[in-house]
Amino acid sequence: MAKILFGAIVADARKKIAGNVFSKSRFGAYVRKKSSPVQPRTNFQRAVRANFSALSKSFSTALTAAEIAAWNTFASTHSVKDRFGNTQLLTGLQWYQRLNRNLHTITQTAITSPPASITTADLGGLTVTQAALTPFHISVATTNPPSAGEYLVITGAPPLPPGRTFIGKRFRIILVDIGTTTQPIDVSASYTTKWGPQLATQAINLQIYNVSSTTGGKGTAYQGSIVLANTPV
């Protein structure tokens, strides 16, 4: 179902309806035909689904009444933004799942009580470079470092041939770093393990965000890209 933001006339739309997908690029809004992706059910996907199901169950069976009440109170005072930038309130269960899913991503223990704060450092931006050692060594660096106790989660989309710019939801986690590694961070091996060898002139798109290891708070995700050169730069 398409999500529509109404004005005097329809002003914007997202997602899909009747076989069409509504989206927007830097050139404006567009509609494309919906395609049905293959569902490979990888080990990673199964692990994520199992964790999500476990969190849903534990909220009602493992938490105390006081803990559930605390999550509901937390939810009433912490809002999020939807696709249009409008303020929305989640439920206590949704916040419990949201923060603990982030902690699961960085392999940290789940929390049973809501944190006092979910604020994280602002990484400021992401720079992607091709290292000078050999072609196709890809490194990333954030404008600002993460705070102590924050992990960096680096995701990558598959290599795009020249002229292709659509990424969609194809970003996948390639590396989780404890946040203390000296930057720039070489992500070549992790990227190749996920998406295979790269070729010259292909575009490599990466995203990075930080997660607090104690609260599950997630920072702003920043994206960067590079077109691979034939020779070291």
Written as six digits, the tokens of 139 are 């490194």
Q: Which CATH class is domain 126-227?
A: mainly beta
* Statement: residue 77 has pLDDT above 70: yes
Please give the pLDDT value at position 38.
63
Task: Supply the pLDDT for residue 40.
Answer: 66
Tokens of 182: 């000296």
The answer, yes or no, to whether the previous bond of 197 is cis (omega within 30 of 0) is: no
Exposure b/e, 184-217, CB count within 10 A at least 16 = b? ebebbebbeebbeebeeebbbbbbbbbbbbebbb
Tell me the C-alpha to C-alpha distance, in Å, between residue 134 and each of 139, 181, 187, 201, 231: 12, 21, 14, 15, 7
Residue 103: the pLDDT is 97
Domain ranges of the chain: 43-105, 126-227
Q: In the structure, what pLDDT confidence band is assigned to residue 1 with cuts at 50, 70 and 90?
A: very low
What pLDDT, on the 0 to 100 scale, is given for residue 150?
A: 96
Lowest mean pLDDT among 37-46, 137-146, 203-212: 37-46
Strand partners, 22: 15, 31
For 115-121, what is the mean pLDDT? 96
C-alpha gyration radius of the chain: 20
3-state secondary structure of 42: coil
Predicted local confidence at residue 47, as pLDDT: 82
**Lowest pLDDT segment from 17-21, 96-100, 207-211, 219-223:** 17-21
pTM over 0.75: yes
